[in-house]
Amino acid sequence: MISLYIAQKSWLHRLSAGIKLLFLAAISLLLYPVEQPSVLLLFLIATLLAYATVGYAALRQLLALKTLLPLFALIFLLQWWSVGFAPAALLVMRMLTLILLANLITLTTRMDDMMDAVMPLFAPLRLLKIETRRIAFAVTLLIRFIPVLMAVVNHLLDAWKARGGGRKLWRLVIPLTIQSIRLSDSVAEALAARGGISSPLTQDQLHQKGSFR
């Protein structure tokens, strides 16, 4: 399954998803009023150390964040120019710490566990007569069909290259959209044939496949 999760053992993997999410929320509130660069630097170093304790795979994921660097550099330079070096450093360190922490939680929590931790938040929807089971089903369906549609994209890209490429790459979106609409019609028919989402047949199949992993 496509996921940022790193399958290994660490102290962060053992913590429950709910606790990690609460911790992230608490830290983000805590960091906002901090005005001393040294304190923020400490938080940033502590976060990086946490990556190190998880292991090499986590440290390597830090590289994946390099796409954000140009934006950070731009914010830093503008802020430096308009309000000075110290506030600019504060701001960038605060953003970096939060992003790194949030990312670390994503790296060390299985999607299933994250899903279980946030499902109770959807409970109020029952008052609106929305079954939370339907949300879980939609998530499963989405994750199941991503590889299917990605294969369609790759086929279309191959065909486009075989025709010699060209500049109108965006036209691939048209067959892609049409194919996904057709696919969604046949999936809906298959679902109806099994008696719909809430039928025991559908639910059994979902659980047998171990939902999404």
Complex with other proteins: residue 50 or 139, whichever CB lies closer: 139
| 111 close to 3: Cβ distance less than 8 angstroms | yes
Binding segment (CB under 8 A) for other proteins, from list 33-41, 43-51, 97-105, 203-211? 97-105
Interface residue with other proteins among 55, 120, 124, 196 (CB under 8 A) is 196
Secondary structure in 3-state letters for 8-49: CCCHHHHCCHHHHHHHHHHHHHHHCCCCCHHHHHHHHHHHHH
- Dihedral sign from CA coordinates of 144, 145, 148, 153: negative
Binding of residue 77 to other proteins (CB under 8 A): no
Binding of residue 78 to other proteins (CB under 8 A): yes
Interface residues for other proteins in 118-177 (CB under 8 A)?
A: 118, 134, 137-139, 141-143, 145-146, 148-150, 152-154, 157, 169-170, 172-174, 176-177
With CB under 8 A as the rule, give the number of residues binding other proteins.
68
């970096």: which residue's tokens?
96
Give the closest residue to 18 by CA, choosing from 135, 97, 138, 119. 119
Binding of residue 5 to other proteins (CB under 8 A): yes
SS3 content of the chain, % helix, strand, coil (to 5): 80, 0, 20
Binding of residue 103 to other proteins (CB under 8 A): yes
Binding of residue 62 to other proteins (CB under 8 A): no
Binding segment (CB under 8 A) for other proteins, from list 36-44, 46-54, 100-108, 203-211? 100-108
Determine the distance from the C-alpha atom of residue 163 to the mean position of all C-alpha atoms in its chain, rounded to a whole number: 35
CA distance readout (Å), 89 to 34, 40, 83, 124, 165:
12, 9, 11, 41, 45
| 117 close to 21: Cβ distance less than 8 angstroms | yes
Residues in touch with other proteins (CB under 8 A): 2-5, 24, 28, 64-65, 67-68, 71-72, 74-75, 78-79, 82, 87, 91, 95, 98-100, 102-103, 105-107, 109, 111, 114-115, 118, 134, 137-139, 141-143, 145-146, 148-150, 152-154, 157, 169-170, 172-174, 176-178, 180-184, 187-188, 191-192, 196-197
